[in-house]
Chains A and B, each alone.
Chain A
């Protein structure tokens, strides 16, 4: 009941494309859903996060879509750039303790020039 399942495992798109990464969670008590971005040799860094009281959140070219009834959320990257090539992790937690994250398996994104 604690799992967060992420897909796909890897993704290759052309520059300007819109990669979409999907996550599904099981624990209905979770109410904080962040996405972290990780470059090779670095630690993850928070990209964007959403609470279940909204269905969509945008920050620049990054958008989270959230479907509470389906227990799913996804990350869309508009006008993707080679610099977006990284590993992306979705995660979930209780908003009262957002350091205790349950992470998805990760998606390695490559954006070709």
Chain B
């Protein structure tokens, strides 16, 4: 039982390049989330999904797009990377969105944009 798996673990991009981060969960969770973690700022929600085929904006969505074509996968895309997007990206999932349903996080993708 792998839980939440993020691919890749590390990536270096040049400004203007694009890439997709993949998140896969094997817990049959309905809800999935993308957060970014920056020093001194905690984690901030980028986008989230309440089910297959649905997506919604979080706290810091600009510069990112997402897709949830399959229930188990949640993709985060950067169309034109900027140095401000240098961060550690975490995917998370939960079975419901109510209290008592914790977020299960992956181990993160460290992205550097030069």
**Which chain A positions have C-beta within 8 A of B102?**
34, 46, 49
A44 and B40 alpha carbons, distance in the complex (Å): 15
Chain A nearest CB from B100 CB (Å) reads 8
Mark out the residues of chain B between 44 and 63 whose CB falls within 8 Å of any chain A CB in the assembled complex. Answer: 44-45, 48, 58-59
**Which chain A positions have C-beta within 8 A of B41?**
105
Contact of B48 among A9, A49, A99 (CB under 8 A): A99
A29 and B108 alpha carbons, distance in the complex (Å): 30
Q: Is B105's CB under 8 angstroms from A44's CB?
A: yes
Q: How many A-B residue pairs have CB under 8 A?
A: 69
Mark out the residues of chain B between 94 and 114 whose CB falls within 8 Å of any chain A CB in the assembled complex. Answer: 94, 97-103, 105-108
How many interface residues does A have (CB within 8 Å)? 29
Contact of B42 among A43, A89, A97 (CB under 8 A): A89
**Does B43 sit at the interface, judged by CB under 8 A?**
yes
Q: Is B33's CB under 8 angstroms from A99's CB?
A: yes
List residues of B whose CB falls within 8 A of some A CB.
Answer: 4, 31, 33, 40-45, 48, 58-59, 90, 92, 94, 97-103, 105-108
Q: Could you show 6 A-B contacts with beta carbons less than 8 Å apart?
A: A43-B105, A89-B42, A99-B92, A101-B103, A103-B42, A105-B41
**Apart from A2-B59, A42-B107, what 11 extra A-B contacts exist at CB < 8 Å?**
A6-B42, A42-B108, A43-B107, A43-B108, A44-B103, A98-B94, A99-B92, A99-B97, A99-B103, A102-B59, A103-B42
List residues of A whose CB falls within 8 A of some B CB.
Answer: 2, 4, 6, 9, 32, 34, 36, 41-46, 49, 51, 89, 91, 95-106
